[in-house]
């Protein structure tokens, strides 16, 4: 009998999609840091935040969770990413059941 839906496969696909978003964020950050030696890398948690934005429906807004500040020596929370940040907060507020 062929399964109509496989939870394990679905979870693996979700993991693959999320990893692709992490790769995309890493590539984007690297692009931002090109020729900007004072711009630090995002932390792992910050990259997760940004990847989550692009994992959710508001990826289409193309607004990153964090953007470089005016001097390109740090990062600020993007004021134009409210929907995406709300999605990230909602996801992070879910506790994983034991």
Partner 1 sequence: MDETKRIVTFLLTAMVVMPICVFAQRTDLMSSGYIVKWPNTMEDISAGNSIPKEEISRLLNSLKGAEVEPAWQVQEFRFAPISKGVIALAAIVDASGRELFYGLVILTREGAKYRRTLFTSAPPHFLPTEAVDLDGDGVVEIIVKEPVLDYRGAATNIVCWNSIYKYEEGSGGPVETYYPAYYTRSVLPYLSFLYETALKGGNETSARSRVLAAEIDFVRFKYQRKMNDEPRAGWDEALRWSQSKVSELQVLAIKTFEDMEGAEASERLEMLSRSPDAVVASRAAAALNRLRNKRAR
Residue 98 CB, nearest distance to partner 1 (Å)?
Answer: 21
**For the chain, how far is it from start to end, CA to CA, in angstroms?**
31
Virtual CA dihedral for 57, 62, 68, 72, nearest 10 degrees? 160
How far is it, in rounded angstroms, from Cα 68 to Cα 29? 9
Site track 46-85 with partner 1 (rule: CB under 8 A), x = hit: --------xxxxxxxxx----------------x--xx-x
Residue 59 CB, nearest distance to partner 1 (Å)?
Answer: 4
Answer yes or no whether residue 11 interacts with partner 1 by CB under 8 A.
no
φ, ψ of residue 12 to 5 degrees: the values are -65, -40
Question: What CA–CA distances, in Å, run from 21 to 5, 6, 28, 59, 77?
Answer: 24, 23, 10, 10, 19
Question: Contact with partner 1 (CB under 8 A): which of 1, 3, 31, 96?
Answer: 31
Answer yes or no whether residue 28 interacts with partner 1 by CB under 8 A.
yes
Q: Which parts of this chain interact with partner 1 (CB under 8 A)? A: 14, 17, 20-21, 24, 27-28, 31, 54-62, 79, 82-83, 85-87, 89-90
């Amino acid at each position: 009998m062929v399964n109509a839906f496989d939870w394990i496969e679905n979870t693996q696909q979700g993991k693959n999609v999320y990893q692709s978003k992490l790769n995309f964020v890493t590539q984007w950050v690297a692009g931002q840091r090109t020729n900007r030696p004072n711009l630090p890398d995002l932390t792992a948690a910050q990259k997760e935040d940004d990847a989550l934005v692009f994992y959710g429906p508001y990826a289409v807004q193309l607004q990153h969770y964090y953007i470089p500040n005016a001097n390109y020596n740090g990062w600020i929370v993007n004021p134009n990413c409210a929907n995406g940040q709300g999605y990230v907060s909602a996801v992070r507020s879910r506790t994983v059941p034991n």
